[in-house]
Structure 1
Amino acid sequence: MKIALIAHDKKKNDLVQFSTAYTSILEQHELFATGTTGLRISEATGLQIHRFQSGPLGGDQEIGAMIANNQMDMVIFFRDPLTAQPHEPDVSALIRLCDVYSVPLATNMGTAEVLIHGLEKGFFSWREIIRERQEGGNQ
């Protein structure tokens, strides 16, 4: 599964802690992250992560493009709902794309834990079926 890891500045420590707690699950998947978030998680956990630009510099849009092309299976995005973000339209667009393409999205620790445990138990194998069908139709 391809998983995006994103966090606003005030939530980066939370996502690093989450990733540390669930390293054994995350290491079994292909990970993507926005710039600084990916670097911090990688340094703390040793996980291999493909890093995009930071969110305000287009990282959210890069992940959004993967979602729109059915190349992302899950998004864990620890948002800071109490701080205005200069790239809020990009954040809203990313969330909307997850809804449009039925990509599981967690925006907080509680939901992220539910998704990660479901991932561990194989509850998201339907994403692989969708990707295989799309790839078969594009040939």
Structure 2
Amino acid sequence: MNIAIMSHTKKQELMVQFCTAYCGILSKHSVCGTNATGRMVADATGLPVQLFLSHEHGGIEQIGQRIIYNEIDMVLFFNSPQDEEMDKDVLYITRLCDQHSVPVATNVATAELLIHSLARGDLDWREGMNPNRVPFAL
């Protein structure tokens, strides 16, 4: 499965901690992320993470396009609800996920539910959504 990770600046450390805790599960899948978050996770965990542009330079839109083309199976986008700076980006990604039936978590509690579901195979139905898809190549 292809998993996208993104986070608000104030939530990047939480994303690193989450990915460190679930590195064993994530290592069985392809992970991509916006530049800063993806790099921090890769450095901390040793996971290969395909890096897209930074948030400021269009990384959110790059991941959004992959959602549209059914190349993403799960999105973890840790949001900081007190900071309205990224509200439009979170709304953009969550709307795309809703339109294309892609599971999305905007907080650590929901991310834990999704990661455990992934480990149990509960999300295997996503593989039938795009049978010709290949994992991200680094």
Give the alignment's TM-score, normalised by structure 1: 0.92
Distance 1:88 1:62 in 2: 17
- Report how far residue 90 of structure 1 moved: 3.1
Distance 1:39 1:94 in 2: 20
1:102 match: 101
1:112 match: 111
- Report how far residue 88 of structure 1 moved: 3.5
Letter in structure 2 aligned against 1:69: Y
1:14 match: 14
Aligned residue for 1:3, secondary structure, equals strand
Distance 1:124 1:5 in 2: 17
Distance 1:34 1:69 in 2: 18
The runs of at least 4 aligned residues of structure 1 exceeding 6 Å deviation read none
2:56 match: 56
Distance 1:26 1:9 in 2: 22
2:120 match: 121
Distance 1:116 1:89 in 2: 25
- Report how far residue 38 of structure 1 moved: 0.5
- Report how far residue 97 of structure 1 moved: 0.2
In the alignment, structure 2 segments of 5+ residues that lack a partner are 133-138
For each residue in 1:65-111, what CA deviation from the matched residue of structure 2 results, as whole angstroms up to 9, or x when unmatched? 000001000000101110121x5433321110000001000000000
**Identity, % of aligned pairs?**
45
Distance 1:112 1:33 in 2: 15
Pick the structure with greater CA Rg.
Answer: 1
Letter in structure 2 aligned against 1:43: D
Count of residue pairs the alignment pairs up: 133
Which structure has more RCO (C-alpha within 8 Å, separation ≥ 6)? Answer: 2
In the alignment, structure 1 segments of 5+ residues that lack a partner are none
Letter in structure 1 aligned against 2:108: M
Distance 1:79 1:47 in 2: 22
